[in-house]
A and B are shown apart, each in its own frame.
Chain A
Amino acid sequence: MIAIIDYGAGNIFSVKNALDFLGVESVLTKDKCEIEAADAVILPGVGAFPWAMGELNKSGLVATVKHEAERKPFLGICLGMQLIFEKGYEFSECEGLGLIPGYVDKIDSPDLIIPHMGWNRLEVNNKDCPLLDGLTGEDYVYFVHSYKAFTDNKYIASYVEYGSEVPALVHDGKFVYGAQFHPEKSGKIGLKILQNFANL
């Protein structure tokens, strides 16, 4: 059973739809006990960093999320991936979950169209990341974001080129994973990545 944390952010039904399609059991929840009882946790999210951290704080889930991420597979998606880091600078400086060292700031280049929206090709940085199992080498996934993660190269399992290298999939080497793209909206490749996560 995968707990998809429902803290009012974005289109969480698509994550559930994708897991249903794969035949993976999941539940949308903000209940602490359900999150603790689950085999794995997904933190989805669309919106702004400070707003999302505020909602997580209001739900009283920050401590639970931090604790569970140390003992079972944890996947942050899009904004959920950004929240994994220590700090965000969207509008104002804001404390993140601090599961992986690093911070989140604007994709800053005057020549680029922002948001980075559409399909971009994954470049593998760490082929041992289990979420990349069985991919084809021509793996396009769907992005929509205006901020990106800044973190040590050792946490970056895969990146895409957009003006500079943009971390696409991060992994702490243990239980914590983060996808800047939307695997639930990335066709076959995205479903394969979600299946890999469910198989952990």
Chain B
Amino acid sequence: MEIRPILASLHKHRVPALLIVLEIALACAVLCNAVFMVAQCVIDGRAPNAIDEQGVSVIHIGGLDGRLAADSVSRDVAALRAMPGVKTVAAINEPPLGPDAMFNGFASKPNEEPQVNSSVYLIGKGAEQALGLKLLQGRYFTDEEYAQGELLPNHQSASHVVLVNQSDAKRWWPGQSALGQQIYSDINTWTVIGVVADVIAQDPSFAGVSGKYSSVFFPQRPSAELNNYILRSDPADRDHVLQQAMQTLGKLEPGAVLEGKTFADVRADYFAGSRNLAWMLVLVCVVMLAVTALGIVGLTSFWVGQRRKQIGIRRAVGASCRQILAYFQTENFLLSTAGVLLGLVLAFAINIYLMRHYEVSRMPWYYLGGGAAALWLLGQLAVLGPALRAASVPPVEATRTI
């Protein structure tokens, strides 16, 4: 395919050609960044969490009288455990992805300043089964350890033992076994007795990237801090069991404020904002691509209309339909390429701007590649209609209107 005549013709129609280039560039820049952000939202929303998410429901109980809370918690757990369909029940201070996060910083050496917001899980007896934690090394808490667990006046656990996440074990003691190691905070020290597969933070967006999988578990005896009940049941009758449990608790605790959710809903609610953002981005991208495609169709149609005579002459002197088609496709390819190149620079600039002002990470190169390919394809599809119309111009057109 000879490119020079195309370039000459484009040079003559500089302004419309530049408009197409500009439109493709802008669309490409926005598309790359939007798709990248959608991907981030999707990845966030699917963040792994090593508990039995499908079987677990959470009931938040609030407004218990602090002095009687210990008795209430024991009585409620016993009543829930007796319900049909309930596999296990336990109390916890806050579930993963919960709204009232409890963070603290821990260090693996005494007097070292903690760098990470770790989520503090105070778990009541049986919570390891209720949550479905996956023990990788060591052991769970003993009954005695559960009975001794409480919160000191400095808001640290009075227990001397702790379960840690796999990620924390690797971060604190790389290449060593975490079992028997110590972690420190304030004036307190705890010995690691077990390592569990990564449980997500209570509020991962507050915890930040470093704290997303930094969770520590302390045993806690029934107390006012344990104001969430974890119910584990068969995923199939989870909703029914939750409903029954709410009724049972409603009767047992008429003065308390109850809120029950399946863990699937806890997750859905936590990520609702980013899911909405993702949908909005998708919508804008689709509409934007449609607008860009229609713009290309409009301008190319106009070109074709304007050049009917020239096309006719080319046909008359021997060009085939296929060659006319190829002419417009090549022309579009050249414009798209210019647009995409400009667009990639723009996309990169936008990404840097977003990184500086928002919590956006660096865009991997393949989003740029994908965006470029999408715009190339879009351009070729959009030009196909007008180009086919151009190819169907009969050679006799050359003889008309002279």
Partners in one complex: no
